[in-house]
């Protein structure tokens, strides 16, 4: 099979083909002529961590990111300790999979809380506990700013600039940031923030932002080209900032999930070439 050389940088996040087992993911991505995947904890655990690591390694694939750690905003001491411990396990998994990066989704407001400032401070405190642990295992925590519509229930990190504020107290090899077009495209400061990010960029993810926003706002992601994002300026910006890693495609979308998975991978390849890195 002849493969466009631009596809060497394309990574398929497991969520895009949600429902595939680990072997189906690895086989499907390799069969499509691709070289990289983003993994999620649950399917890795289901298949077995060591088996999953061997499966990926034997197939010659790279794991670009492991999803996900975080949810670090609890006020209850026991819940907080459990979250820290769970993140240590996620860091261990990331190292075993040979992935450089664990994606961190900060977590939202605790139930009934309106203290957004406090929740953000607790994320910073938790990072101080986790960053050295990650660094010792050769794993970088990648702080993901999520679109502000998810601030209350999912991630109190809302902009790339805020993610950088949280990352910069730590060594660059311990804490970086995710640039996910879906989450940051609206931000008037995004170009300045990407430039500022430089070698803090630990993951570059793409998918489109669909309009109108569907009833389940978690599923507003779509194939590149189906929404309102102009992708090439983002590719140019992260490259100008020094990013030489993969472009990972992560799509949460009920219609995409209903399609045959191999067809989803083909559509992602076509859209990546036509819309993300055209010409």
Site for a second copy, rule CB under 8 A: 109, 114-117, 120, 147-149, 151-153, 158-159, 161-162, 165, 185-189, 209, 211-213, 215, 217, 228-230, 233
Smallest gap, in angstroms, from Cβ of residue 135 to a second copy? 25
What are the φ/ψ torsions at residue 113 (nearest 5 degrees)? -85, 145
Smallest gap, in angstroms, from Cβ of residue 208 to a second copy? 10
Q: What is the 3-state secondary structure (H, E, C) of 184-220?
A: HCCCCCHHHHHHHHHHHEEEEEECEECCCCCCCHHHC
Smallest gap, in angstroms, from Cβ of residue 24 to a second copy? 32
In 3D, which of 231, 239, 172 has the Cα closest to residue 200?
172
DSSP state of 110: P
Smallest gap, in angstroms, from Cβ of residue 108 to a second copy? 9
* 146 vs 264, beta carbon nearer a second copy: 146
* 50 vs 255, beta carbon nearer a second copy: 255
Concatenated DSSP letters for 69-101?
Answer: EE-----SHHHHHHHHHHHHHHHHHHHHTT-SE
* 79 vs 217, beta carbon nearer a second copy: 217
* 133 vs 191, beta carbon nearer a second copy: 191
* 204 vs 209, beta carbon nearer a second copy: 209
Other Cβ atoms less than 10 A from the Cβ of 141: the count is 29
Chain Cα centroid distance, residue 277: 19
Between vectors from CA 87 to CA 22 and to CA 39, what angle results, nearest 5°?
20
Smallest gap, in angstroms, from Cβ of residue 185 to a second copy? 7
């Amino acid at each position: 099979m002849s493969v466009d050389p631009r596809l060497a940088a394309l990574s398929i996040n497991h969520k895009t083909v949600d429902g595939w087992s680990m072997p189906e993911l690895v086989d499907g991505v390799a069969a499509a002529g691709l070289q990289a995947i983003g993994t999620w904890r649950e399917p890795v655990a289901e298949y077995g961590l060591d088996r999953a690591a061997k499966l990926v390694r034997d197939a010659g694939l790279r794991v670009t990111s492991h999803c996900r750690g975080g949810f670090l905003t609890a006020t209850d001491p026991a819940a907080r300790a459990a979250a820290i411990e769970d993140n240590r396990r996620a860091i261990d998994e990331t190292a075993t999979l040979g992935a450089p990066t664990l994606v961190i989704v900060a977590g939202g407001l605790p139930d009934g809380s309106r203290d957004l400032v406090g929740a953000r401070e607790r994320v910073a405190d938790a990072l101080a506990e986790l960053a050295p642990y990650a660094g010792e295992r050769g794993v970088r925590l990648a702080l993901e700013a999520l679109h502000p519509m998810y601030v209350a229930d999912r991630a109190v990190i809302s902009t790339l600039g805020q993610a950088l504020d949280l990352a910069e107290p730590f060594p660059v090899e311990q804490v970086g940031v995710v640039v996910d077009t879906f989450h940051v495209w609206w931000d008037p400061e995004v170009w300045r923030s990407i430039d500022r990010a430089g070698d803090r960029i630990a993951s570059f993810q793409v998918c489109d932002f669909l309009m109108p926003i569907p009833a389940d706002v978690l599923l507003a992601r779509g194939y590149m080209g189906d929404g309102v994002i102009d992708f090439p300026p983002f590719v140019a910006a992260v490259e100008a900032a020094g990013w030489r890693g993969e472009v990972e495609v992560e799509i949460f979308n009920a219609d995409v999930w209903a399609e045959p998975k191999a067809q989803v991978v083909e559509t992602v390849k076509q859209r990546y070439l036509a819309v993300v890195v055209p010409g």
